[in-house]
Amino acid sequence: MTDILILKNKQSMRTKTRLTTLTHLAPLVLGWVVLLSASAQAWWNPEWTIRKKITLDTTAAGITDPIGTTAILLRLHEGNFQFAGSKEDGSDIRFVAADEKTVLKHHIEKFDSVLYEAFVWVQVPDLKPSAQNAIWLYYGNVGESVPRGDDAKGTYDSDTTLVYHFTESGVAPADASGNGNNGEKTGIPANGAQIGGGLRLTGQNSVVVPVSPTLAWSAGGSVTLSTWLKPASLQPNAVIFSRREGENSLVIGSDNGVPFVEVKTAGAVQKSAAGAPLAVNIWKHLAMVANASQITLYVDGETYATLPVGLPALNSPFLIGKDAADAQGLGFTGELDELQLSKVARPVGFLKVAAMGQGGGDKTAKLVVEGQEEMEEAGAGGHLAEHLSLITDISKSLTFDGWVVIVLCAILAVVGWGVSIAKFIYLNRIQKATNAFMKKWDELSSDLSILDHGDEENVKSMGGQANPKLQRLLNQSPLYHIYKIGSSEIQHRLLNVRHEFQGLSGRSIQAIKATLDSGLVREVQKLNSSLVFLTIGIAGGPYLGLLGTVIGVMITFAVIAKSGEVEVNSIAPGIAGALLATVAGLVVAIPALFAYSYISSRIKDAVSDMQIFIDEFIAKIAEAYPSESE
């Protein structure tokens, strides 16, 4: 029965050892998890507190043709953007590439924080076909010192010569590309167009784009012109765009809903073949791409018609709407939006991205995939620096009494951390030594007679099992100290017996156990030494902080009573400085509480191990030295 109890005690001690080891490893594992999580969630700038991942999925959109650098439209609304968390004009919006370092150029076409609607253009360099291209939208930095991030000119590449958003009201269209190709005639605004505001054409009005070096076309040159249009009616030979100079001209129009391009070179006229007509009151993306030998019309990014002729040389005003050279004819009747002109032939993929990305609805949802909004976590470097800066400002309002409290709290914190670190190291040494001792004890406990010859060195070496180096390690274990006390008690009885040794009586065993219990008390005192400094920090830190706060608030109100000034600006600094003392007290108490709880649990485990060992030691010597009367 005694052997069964001893075996259970051993198993209990080993189980506790394993649990203690796991307890030690848990904080390390948790730390690595936090670090890995932090690196996986890298944040471009912690001053921007909200971000959203935006994936431009050209695979799901079925775009396999080359694209290149392009400006992507993002439609922001209440369902995908927290307008309350951004500045009223959206000036805190930033876009960052997938590397979380490169800031992308963008500009805001419209931002309405009342109606929760915004249209933002962002340049995506070298957008890849058949791939998932990720960018990040950041906002949430509402500080007054945050500059605007808009860069309309930088949003478009150097090949873009003209961009009209048609958001103006009462003024001519303005060129957003930065080339200064502004219109000369005021158009009729159309609210609620394809992208915010648009241009309304009545068939009799037009907008003139003046001559410009960036708009000069050479014979056989490359040009891309694109826009969104919504026919209000089907008209014969309605002119949408026209440019004429002498015997050369280029006209883009709609003949009873059929888009066409007509080119006149040295008096010879050629017109594209008819295709399927456009529907009335439906927005369509229309584009013309000209290169050295061919002009191609695209509708919604798909080839509509081709004309085997190069571009004529033209350097004259450009008309949007009614052609002034045709007094009898009508211009296009309907709405236009987002006119873009480039001096290169854009690839098909570029046009498909424009048609899908700007059209809205299901097609845009396939191309522009928005992730969930993420909030910047507390503890990031930027917020920490900001908080430290605020604390520095607050400390300037501290009274002398507050500084005394904070200094006392700092002393308590230093002492507490010193005790905690020393205890951590001490307990780890004890655990390592105890593990080594238990391995040797398992071998020695089966036969304690090897200690009978009375050699003290034999006791220290545990029957010759521990060399001097191992003995130095074992000497750090409380169990080894108790073992030596018990072994010394047995040796004392063996050496001082007057007659033949007849075993250990029950009284002798009780006496040995009492001696071992005394050793246990001394070891516990060693383990608990200096912990009083942690309890002082836990109990005294908050009270010291409260004392400083009460004194600071009392002085603040006394000063207000004398001066007679009752303003927030006169009260807030003093109150904030007074509360800083309470913060200092809590900074002392909270870490001390955690450290004390952890150290206490480790000490309890060590005490339990010693109690179990004493019971096992007594049971072993009772078996090894039975009294003849038993």
Per-residue confidence band for 200, with pLDDT thresholds at 50, 70 and 90: very high
How many residues can be counted in the chain?
630
Whether 212 and 144 map to the same domain: the answer is no
Say if residue 528 is in the same domain as residue 547.
yes
pLDDT for the residue 390: 66
End-to-end CA distance of the chain: 16
| One domain for residues 434 and 545 | yes
- Residue-wise pLDDT tens digits, 119-146: 999 999 999 999 999 999 999 998 878 8
Q: How confident is the model at residue 486 (pLDDT cuts 50, 70, 90)?
A: confident
Residue 626 has pLDDT above 80, yes or no: no
pLDDT at 440: 82
Q: Is residue 179 part of a domain?
A: yes
- Looking at the structure, tell me whether residues 555 and 625 fall in a common domain: yes
Q: How far is CA 367 from CA 131, 135, 138, 300, 586, in A?
A: 11, 13, 20, 14, 51
Domain with 180 in it: what CATH number? 2.60.120.200
461-475, 570-584, 593-607, range with greatest mean pLDDT: 593-607
pLDDT band at residue 313 using 50, 70 and 90 as cut-offs: very high
Q: What is the pLDDT of residues 216-255, one digit of tens each?
A: 999 999 999 999 999 999 999 999 999 999 999 999 999 9
- Which residue type occupies 8? K
Query: What pLDDT score was predicted for residue 328?
Result: 67
User: How many CB atoms neighbour CB 208 within 10 A?
Assistant: 14
Is the model's pLDDT at 412 over the cut of 80?
yes
Q: What is the pLDDT of residue 22?
A: 37
Query: For residue 41, is pLDDT > 60?
Result: no
Q: Which of 301, 319, 343 is the last residue of a domain?
A: 343
Within this chain, do residues 275 and 177 fall inside the same structural domain, yes or no? Answer: yes
pLDDT band at 62 (very low <50, low <70, confident <90, very high): very high
Q: Does any domain span residue 15?
A: no
Confidence at residue 29, expressed as pLDDT on a 0 to 100 scale: 37
Residues 6+ apart with CB under 8 A from 210: 181, 184, 317
Lowest mean pLDDT among 193-202, 262-271, 412-421, 560-569: 560-569
The number of folded domains in the chain is 3
Residue 358 lies in a domain: yes
Token representation of residue 469: 């180096």
Each residue's pLDDT tens digit, 517-548: 988 999 899 889 888 989 998 988 899 889 88
3-state secondary structure 207-258: EEECCCHHHCECCCCCEEEEEEEEECCCCCCEEEEEEEECCEEEEEEEECCE
Q: Are residues 285 and 210 in the same domain?
A: yes
Within-domain flag for 191: yes
Note whether residue 5 is domain-resident.
no
Q: Do both 334 and 352 map to the same domain? A: no
The mean pLDDT of the chain is 85
Is the domain of 187 the same as that of 147?
A: no
Domain interval for residue 409: 399-630
The reply to whether 446 falls in a domain is yes
Tokens of 234: 């089907």
pLDDT exceeds 80 at position 421: yes
- The stretch 608-628 carries a mean pLDDT of 83
Mark whether 524 and 577 lie in a shared domain. yes
78-92, 407-421, 437-451, range with the lowest pLDDT: 437-451
pLDDT higher than threshold 70 for residue 14: no
Structural domain includes residue 382: no
Q: Say yes or no: 424 and 555 in one domain.
A: yes
- Residue at which a domain ends, from 361, 376, 391: 376
Report the distance separating Cα 275 and Cα 91, nearest Å: 45
> Read out DSSP for 89-130?
T-TT-EEEETTSSPEEPEEEEEEETTTTEEEEEEEEEEEPTT
pLDDT of 302 over the 50 cut: yes
pLDDT of residue 388: 64
Same domain, 355 and 318: no
Q: In this structure, are 560 and 488 located in the same domain? A: yes
Read off the pLDDT band of 572 (50, 70, 90). confident
Residue 167 forms part of a structural domain: yes
